[in-house]
A and B are shown apart, each in its own frame.
Chain A
Amino acid sequence: MASNLLKVPIFSKLPSLATRIILPSAAYHRERIGNREVVGFGLNGEPSYIDRTDFPMPAIRFKENSQEITTLREKEKGDWKELSMDEKKTLYRASFCQTFSEMKAPTGEWKSVLAGTFVAMALTVWLYVWMKNFVYQPMPDSFTPEKKAAQLQRIIDLRVNPIEGLASKYDYENNRWKD
């Protein structure tokens, strides 16, 4: 009986205990997002902020709830016509980081990419010139014009490819190329 009496105050305290229990994962995220409001599911259920044109509403607001923004949100509950342009912009920037036009603004990065490509190509050419001069041996003897002419004469003499190829274009009776 006495033990039953003891239990009562403990049970009456439980609800207040329960409100203080925070899931480990929630604590992990809360530590990272500060007191930013979680306003949606987001891309994958993680409370993260990202600006994407194909997924424009991220899971959390961009800015933490400061005193100024909290009072502005109270005002937002009233008529929006009473908000000044500055307040509207503040509200937008509190929820979102970049506007669409800022997301899609050209970065000019293509210029440095193009410049880098040209630099690489120029270096490659100079590397080739250097290799040609200092690394490779001279071309073999068979690459001289006389030797090449001799090879051609030998091919003609052997009548190589007589149907459609080289020898078919040679006039053997008059010993010259056909017209």
Chain B
Amino acid sequence: MFRIAIQRGFSCVKNIQSVIIPYYAKIQPAAVTSVRSMSKHSTETDEEFDARYEAYFNRTDIDGWDVRKAMNDLQGMDLVPEPKIMIAALRACRRVNDYALAVRFLEAVKDKCGTRMKEIYPFLLQEVRPTLDELGICTPEEMGYDKPELHLENVYDIH
């Protein structure tokens, strides 16, 4: 009885193999050349990244929410935005009519320069200077915001 069961089992496997193997043999070549579909492995180059953010800020229908979202995202990344991204962002601020946002963004980028402020920040300013002049945006230094202007009492000391 068992022999019959085993034989039947084997014949079953053989039947399935005869159906499946040609099928896989057919699709195998395509599978070999395909890209590994890993879930979160970015293959974006720096140029593509810059272009993506530039295009994002250059959208004509961008609103204040989107501008802030991208700026906050950039602030969380391990990079200083390229001047062309900055220019696109400043123009986006102009389109949504938010002057404070433009100055805040300049401050944020300056903060991102970190310990290499003296090397990077003058270069960035030099690159975005034409845009600043065109739109009438003052740098944080011109606003006097490179040094603390007002004192804010610590909330824990108020009461």
Q: Which residues of A contact B (CB under 8 A)?
A: 39-41, 53-57, 73, 76-77, 79-83, 85, 88-89, 91-92, 94-102, 104-105, 107
Contact = CB atoms under 8 A, between A and B. Distances in A.
Contacts of B69: 40-41
A40 B104 contact: no
A101 B103 CA distance: 13
Interface string B41-63: 00000000000000000000000
B9 interface: no
Contacts of B97: 73, 76-77
B136 A81 contact: yes
Contacts of B151: 102
Nearest to B137: A80
Contacts of B76: 54-55
B145 interface: yes
Contacts of B137: 80
Given A56-B71, A76-B97, A95-B101, 16 more contacts: A53-B75, A56-B72, A57-B68, A57-B101, A76-B98, A76-B99, A80-B137, A82-B136, A83-B99, A85-B138, A91-B100, A92-B99, A92-B143, A94-B100, A96-B104, A101-B140
Nearest to B146: A101
B135 A80 contact: yes
Interface residues of B, number: 36
Contacts of B75: 53-56
Contacts of A101: 140, 145-149
Contacts of B82: none
B150 interface: yes
A88 B143 contact: yes
Nearest to B66: A40
Contacts of B71: 56-57
Contacts of B23: none
B148 A39 contact: no
Interface string B125-158: 0000000000111101001011111111010000
B98 A53 contact: no
Residue among A91, A98, A99, A105 having the largest count of chain B Cβ atoms under 10 Å = A99
A113 B159 CA distance: 21
Contacts of B135: 80
Interface in B58-114: 64-65, 68-69, 71-72, 75-76, 94, 97-101, 103-105, 107-108, 110-111
A102 B136 contact: no
